[in-house]
Amino acid sequence: LHAGRSNRPKSFASCRSPPSSPEDRIKVMKSIAHLSLFVHVILFLHRLHLCFSFSIAGRRLLPTEMRSVAGDGDGDDNGGEHGTGLRRGTTYSWTNPKLQTKDSAKQRGNHTESRIQFGGCGSILVHSGTSSRVTSLQHTGLSLWSAAYVMSYYIDDVWIQDIKCSNNELNKWTVLDLGAGLGLCSAVAAKHGMNIISTDSDSQALVLLEENVRRNCNEDNGNTSVHTLDWISAAEQADMTTNPVFEELEKYGGSDLVILSDVIYSATKPAWKALIVLLQKLRSQRMRLLCNSPATVERKRCDSTHTPASDPLVLLSYTQRRRDMSPQDEAEFFTMLRKAGMEAVLVPSGQIPHGETYMLTTLFELRWVN
């Protein structure tokens, strides 16, 4: 036992290795630096992989009719069967408005007050219903949806470019907002001084719609009005000159821009055919009025071409909701468009401010092919 104790080290310090030399310390520091760099590279590649996976996932969520326009992923990047030359895989997603810098939302009594910043028209103030008031699909117009943000950012940028191309002179557009809801898109148009006609069929939404448009309108330029419009009734109406919306459009020579923000979902499916009929009637009205007043506003498309003088520019922002509609239901609307002689052309995300933050909301131009 005594011999065993004598063989043990007398202290822990005697077991430690002697201090390393400066050269060894430098080698250790270099190894740690290399290991840290390696870990950061791995994390970066992992994030890149996730971003790519989400992009592909969003691409696969597109219904068949949308893929045909955006490109099928094979062959040349020619924009699919219609040859629009647009970039493939351009999809957007819903986003919380609070994620947008400089935007804010406050709860005031029985409504929410949201302030959204835009590059062209500045700040827009919108009142919306509280979540307790949005109780069914019949009152979806009481909320701000991501499709309204996508549409609003895009048209705001369109008019910024229009002013630049016109030597800072504003070309006054006549804008028809179908299914306007709370009127964010209408408010942006009003703030730019456009002639805006906003419509909806929800009586509760119409109250907030009129308030939001009036609050944000530019009183020095443009006229604003709010109307109740039921698509099915209007489509079945024989004489459209007695319809208040079409009657007002007569004064402006027809509509230059038709906004369809998040109007394609299960609750509106019975009215899809009526909506397409309405678009055809709007085109017919413009063609008729064009003969009497040939002066029109040039409406630039997303592919740098211009719409024919007889055709209004029609924009559709659409959010894919798998719980609400099946891929077959989604494709049905675009099939109805094609049968009516129209096509949907995907707007590239690069042309939409903040477009990179959206994945499941897509923006289309609806065009007549003949």
Report which secondary-structure segment, H or E, holds 284.
Answer: helix 272-292
User: Amino acid identity of 76?
Assistant: D
Instruction: Please give the pLDDT value at position 17.
Output: 54
Question: In this predicted structure, which of 44-58, 134-148, 160-174, 291-305 has the lowest mean pLDDT?
Answer: 44-58
How far apart CA 156 and CA 118 sit, in angstroms, is 7
Which residue matches tokens 């630049």? Answer: 164
Instruction: Please give the pLDDT value at position 50.
Output: 57
Higher pLDDT, 261 or 165: 261
How far apart CA 171 and CA 52 sit, in angstroms, is 40
How are beta strands 313-319 and 361-368 bridged, if at all? antiparallel
Tokens of 328: 């077959």
pLDDT, mean of residues 110-118: 81
Instruction: Please give the pLDDT value at position 20.
Output: 62
Q: How many CB atoms lie within 10 A of CB 35?
A: 10
Question: In this predicted structure, which of 89-98, 184-193, 207-216, 360-369 has the lowest mean pLDDT?
Answer: 89-98
Q: Which of 278, 281, 280, 269 is nearest to 331 (CA)?
A: 269
pLDDT in tens, 5-37: 445 554 444 444 555 678 888 888 888 988 989
Burial 329-365, CB ≥16 within 10 A → b, else e: ebbbbbeebeebebbbbbbbbebbbbbebbbbbbbbb
Q: Is the Cβ–Cβ distance between 342 and 279 less than 8 Å? A: yes
C-alpha distance from residue 95 to each of 103, 189, 207, 306, 359 (Å): 12, 22, 26, 31, 9
Tokens of 250: 């007569």
Report which secondary-structure segment, H or E, holds 176.
Answer: strand 174-178
Q: Is the Cβ–Cβ distance between 331 and 65 less than 8 Å? A: yes
Which residue matches tokens 């003088």? Answer: 309
Burial 190-227, CB ≥16 within 10 A → b, else e: bbbbbbbbbbbbbeebbebbbbbbeebbeeeebbbebb
How are beta strands 122-129 and 224-228 bridged, if at all? unpaired
Phi-psi label, residue 54: left if phi above 0, alpha if psi -120 to 50, beta otherwise = alpha
How far apart CA 196 and CA 216 sit, in angstroms, is 12
Which residue matches tokens 């997303």? Answer: 302
Q: Is the Cβ–Cβ distance between 360 and 93 less than 8 Å? A: yes
Q: How many CB atoms lie within 10 A of CB 16?
A: 8
For residue 220, the 8-state DSSP code is: T
Average pLDDT taken over every residue of the chain? 77
How far apart CA 39 and CA 17 sit, in angstroms, is 30
How are beta strands 257-261 and 313-319 bridged, if at all? parallel
pLDDT class of 112 with cuts at 50, 70, 90: confident
Report which secondary-structure segment, H or E, holds 336.
Answer: helix 327-339
Higher pLDDT, 213 or 78: 213
Q: Is the Cβ–Cβ distance between 186 and 176 less than 8 Å? A: no
